[in-house]
Amino acid sequence: MQPLLASDPTAVGDYRLLARLGRGAMGGVYLGRSRGGRVVAVKVIRADLAEDPEFRERFRREADAAHAVGGFWTAAVVNADPDAEQPWLATEYVPGPTLHQAVADHGALPEATVRSLGAGLAEALVAIHNAELVHRDLKPANVLLGPDGPRVIDFGISRAMTGHSLTATGIFLGTPGFFSPEQTLGGDVGPASDVFSLGAVLVFAATGCGPFGEESTASLLYKVAHAEPDLEKVPDGLRPLLAECLAKDPADRPTPTQMLDRIGETSPQGSGWLPQPITAVIAQHATELQRTAQAPDAPPAPPAPPNPPKQQTRTYTQSAPAPSAPAPPSAAPAAPVAAAPASPMRQPITPAAPQKRATQAQVVQVRRDGPGPEFRTAGRVSAGIWAAFFAALLVGVAYLAERVSVDREPLFLLGAGLLVFGAIWSVGRMLAPSLRLKVNGDGVVVHRFGLTREYPWSQISRVGVVGRGKSTALALWLADGSAPSSALWLRVRRYHGGGRVYPIGATGGFIARRQEARRLRTALEQYAPGRYDSRIL
C-alpha cells in the first residue's frame, strides 16, 4: 500500500479511499472503505480514457462480466458505476501479493503449491466459462494469492463468447507469452484460450519463468505461435498436463473440468497451502490492512482552513503534516500526531518510519539474475556506417588537398580534423558495449563496462516513462528527495526533480523504440505497483 497522492481522489461513490494499491493501463486501484466499514479494492478509470467511448464500453463489460462470474476463486464484485464521470468498480480486497510478485520475490513455488494453485484457477475458469465469458488475459499479475486460496481478477478484456470484439485489426488484447496462439494469429478465441494461458501461468509458478522465456514482444509472439514451450524445469508430475494445456491446437487442450480431474483432490484452503515466506507476506498485508482500515474518517470541514498549498504538495516520501518543521528530527514521529486534525485518514499509510527504512536500504541489492525483462541500447550498426562515411570523406579531403591552393589549406585542415574526430567518435560508439537496464521485483539496475548502478524499490518514490521518440527515457524520483546522479559511463539528465536514467529512445528504430517503451511500461506496472505513474509525460 502507498499513500494517496495530492492528485488522487479521496472518495468514490460511497467509498472513502485510504491508500493506493497500484496502477494499470486503465487507471488506478485504491483501497477503499464503505460507510459500513467494509474494505474493498476500488478501480477508477483514468479521466482521459473516460472520454473515450470504446474504453468506457470496455469498462462496462468488465463490470458486467465480473458481476456474472461469481465463483469461489474470483474476486467478487461489490459495486460499480460505469456511467460516472470517472467510472469505477469495487471488488473484495484480497490481502495477498500477486503471483507475479510472489515468484519474483521468493522464487518458484513447490509442486504441491502449484497443484493447489492449478486446482483453484481451473475452478475459477469453470465459473467464468459457465457465465459464457472468456477472460482473455489470465497472467501471473492477474492472480492474487489469498490466505484461503488464489483469486482471478481483472476482467477488463474479457468478452461474451457470443458477442463481438471491440478491437481493431492488428491490435492484440492480452499479454505476450501468456495468451494463446489463436489470440496471436487473430483466430477465434474461446474457452480453450484461457486453458493455454492457465498452463503458461502454472509453468511460471513452477519455474519462475514463462514457457516461452522473457524476450521482446515480437519474439514472444512468434514463439507462442510456432515454437514449443520450454518445460524442462517443470516437475515431472505436472509436465504432461501442462504440455497438453500449451498445445497449439485448441482441440488438443483439456477443459478446466478435465484439469480438475487430472490434478486430483488438492484444496488450496487453509494457511498451509503456500510456502512460509509468502504466508508471512500475507500476514503483513492483513496487519497493514487492519491498521489502515481502522483509521478514523477525516472531518468534512477542517481540511479546508489549514494551509491548503502545503498540504497539496506533490510528495511521495513524506506525509502531508511535514509543515510542522520546528520540531527537531528526533521528534519526527510526533509530527503526525500534532497534525492529526488536518489529515487523520492518511496517517496510517504515510508514516515517517518507511522514510527511514528507505534511507537505510543502501545495502539492498537488485538481483540481475531475477525474473524480469532486460533492455539494452542499440546503435552499433549506425555508428559503424557513420565511421565508414567519415573515413570516405577523409579520403576525399586528402585527394582534394593535393589540388587546392595554399591559401585554402587551413580550411581543409580544419575540416579534416573534424572528420577525424567524427570517425574516432563513431568507432568508439561502435566498440563500446551497450547500456543495459534490468527491471525486476527488487528494483532497477543499469550496468555497462562491468559498472553497475542499482535502484531498489525501497529507495524509489516514483517511476515512469517520459518523453517521446528518441527522447523517450526511464525517469526515477528517489525517496530521499534527491535526483539520481550521473557518472562517466551513465549520463543522467535532470527531469522535474528526478532523473532520466536510461534512454529507451536509443534502443533502436521507430518500431523498436515503441515496442521497448511498451514493454518497459508493462514491466513497471507489474514490478512497481504504487510507484509507477503512467500519467508522466
Which one, of 5, 1, 29, lies nearest residue 320 by Cα?
A: 5
Distance CA 522, CA 25 (A): 9
Residue 387's region, left for phi above 0, alpha for psi from -120 to 50, else beta, is alpha
Instruction: Identify the H or E element spanning 268.
Output: none
Q: Which amino acid is at 104?
A: A
Which helix (H) or strand (E) segment holds residue 196: the answer is helix 191-207
Residue 311: C-alpha distances to residues 316, 346, 478 (Å) = 12, 12, 20
For the residues of 15-27, what is the DSSP string, one character each?
A: EEEEEEEEE-SSE
Q: Which residue is it, cell 478446466?
A: 256
Q: How many CA atoms lie within 13 A of 178 on its CB side?
A: 23
Distance CA 321, CA 347 (A): 9
User: Kind and range of the H or E element at 231?
Assistant: none
* Strands ordered across the beta sheet of 498-502: 460-466, 473-478, 498-502, 493-495
Who contacts 397 (Cβ-Cβ below 8 Å, separation ≥6)? 412, 415, 416, 419
The alpha carbon of residue 406 and the mean position of all alpha carbons in its chain are separated, in whole angstroms, by 64
Residue 492 in grid coordinates = 543522467
CA distances from 56 to 50, 88, 161, 316, 522 (A): 6, 10, 20, 30, 21
β-bridge mates for residue 39, sequence order = 33
DSSP 464: E
Please tell me the distance from the alpha carbon of residue 453 to that of residue 268, in angstroms, as a whole number: 41
| Cα Rg, the chain, nearest whole Å | 27
255, 297, 361, 515, 534 from 472: Cα distances, Å: 44, 41, 29, 12, 14
Q: Given 83, 105, 137, 252, which residue is catalytic?
A: 137
In this structure, how many other beta carbons lie within 10 angstroms of the beta carbon of residue 95?
19
User: Which residues have C-beta within 8 Å of that of residue 330, sequence separation ≥ 6?
Assistant: none
Residue with cell 552499433: 380
Among 499, 385, 372, residue whose Cα is nearest residue 443:
372
> Taking the mean position of all CA atoms in its chain, how far away is CA 286?
23
CA distance linking residue 200 with residue 107, whole number of Å: 16
139 marked among binding-site residues:
no
Query: Please, what's the b/e burial string for 261-284 (b: 16 or more CB within 10 A of its CB; e: otherwise)?
Result: ebbeebebeeeebbeeebbebbee
> Does 14 qualify as catalytic in the annotation?
no
Find out whether 248 and 212 touch, Cβ atoms under 8 Å: no
Detail the residues annotated as belonging to a binding site for ATP.
Answer: 43
Detail the residues annotated as belonging to a binding site.
Answer: 43
The residues carrying an active-site annotation are 137
